[in-house]
Amino acid sequence: MTDFTAEVQGVTKRYGETEAVRGVDLTLAPGECVAMVGHNGAGKSSLIKLMLGLTTPTEGRIRVLGGDPASAACSPIRRRIGFLPENVAFHPSMTGRETLDFYARLKGAPCRDNDALFEKVGLEPAAIRRRVSTYSKGMRQRLALAQALLGGPKLLFLDEPTTGLDPALRQSFYAIVAELRDRGTTILLCSHALTELEGQADRVVVMNRGRKVADGSLATLRSLAQLPVRIRLTLPTGDIDALAARVGEGAALTRLAGGVVELACANDDKVGLVRRIACDGPTVQDIEIVQPSLDEMYAHFLRREAAE
């Protein structure tokens, strides 16, 4: 018996000549929210389909909620899994309520819980009565999320859930994700919108051409990547030369627009550098420390993989 909600061990998935997933090990612990990132064709959807039991591994082993998700005996397990696919297509002539009732029956979930689900995802009663063909992209995505939440899943797969949503909708979407995670739902979230994943995920898994090339918390990935930290300073233009003399060669200095200067240094050097600047140095009006973004770390791990 394993403590993990999902466990992928040495899994390879081949479609003919194409190796979509190559020797991947991955675990999802109960209540964890894990972000999976990777280029188009990196193998993210293939991995999700394997964990859903829609396909079977060419090599390796998968356990989800204590069983093999693809086995016929595990349909009770599959009922505890929610899935929001990348491109959701609902029948246009069905109303929101008819659609959710239909999926509830397929999943063996009680239709009486659907009103609570509509409320959770923010679909108003008037919208529920309308045909899906009249829905905006945001409303369709809310309905898709309600569909994924049918039956109160213990494990939730969200494939590109916020594509095409406006910033306010994305925020409300992530608020729902945070609430689910707080209640113990394990979540695997795929996205290309790396910046918005920062602060949402406990762990980030980076996929490249079917392989897992990095796996850890943002802090772990930052320390592995050893990318420079940027210190942005606003100061009078006349003081920039004095600043350059003071920081010496320990940090690369770049002049940005609006009297802003950026210093790039190793993370371990940043506190010492800020002290040197602050002590009787040039007149600094503002200071901002910018950690490497998930975009930069992602690019770093892909470069490293290519070099290897």
Ligand X SMILES: Nc1ncnc2c1ncn2[C@@H]1O[C@H](COP(=O)(O)OP(=O)(O)OP(=O)(O)O)[C@@H](O)[C@H]1O
Smallest gap, in angstroms, from Cβ of residue 112 to ligand X? Answer: 35
Residues 206 and 226: their CA atoms lie apart, in Å, by: 16
Residues 231 and 246: their CA atoms lie apart, in Å, by: 14
| Residue 132 or 194 having the CB closest to ligand X | 194
| Residue 50 or 235 having the CB closest to ligand X | 50
Torsion of CA 99, 104, 106, 110, to 10 degrees: -150
Smallest gap, in angstroms, from Cβ of residue 207 to ligand X? Answer: 6
Which sign does the torsion angle of CA 215, 216, 217, 223 carry? negative
Smallest gap, in angstroms, from Cβ of residue 245 to ligand X? Answer: 48
Residues 259 and 33: their CA atoms lie apart, in Å, by: 40
Residues 167 and 117: their CA atoms lie apart, in Å, by: 22
| Residue 43 or 292 having the CB closest to ligand X | 43
In the complex, the residues that contact ligand X under the rule CB under 6 A are 15, 18, 20, 38, 40-46, 86
Smallest gap, in angstroms, from Cβ of residue 81 to ligand X? Answer: 18
| Residue 58 or 291 having the CB closest to ligand X | 58
Smallest gap, in angstroms, from Cβ of residue 41 to ligand X? Answer: 4
Q: What is the DSSP letter of 257?
A: S
Token readout for 72 is 């016929």
Phi, psi of 47 (to 5 degrees): -65, -40
| Residue 190 or 229 having the CB closest to ligand X | 190
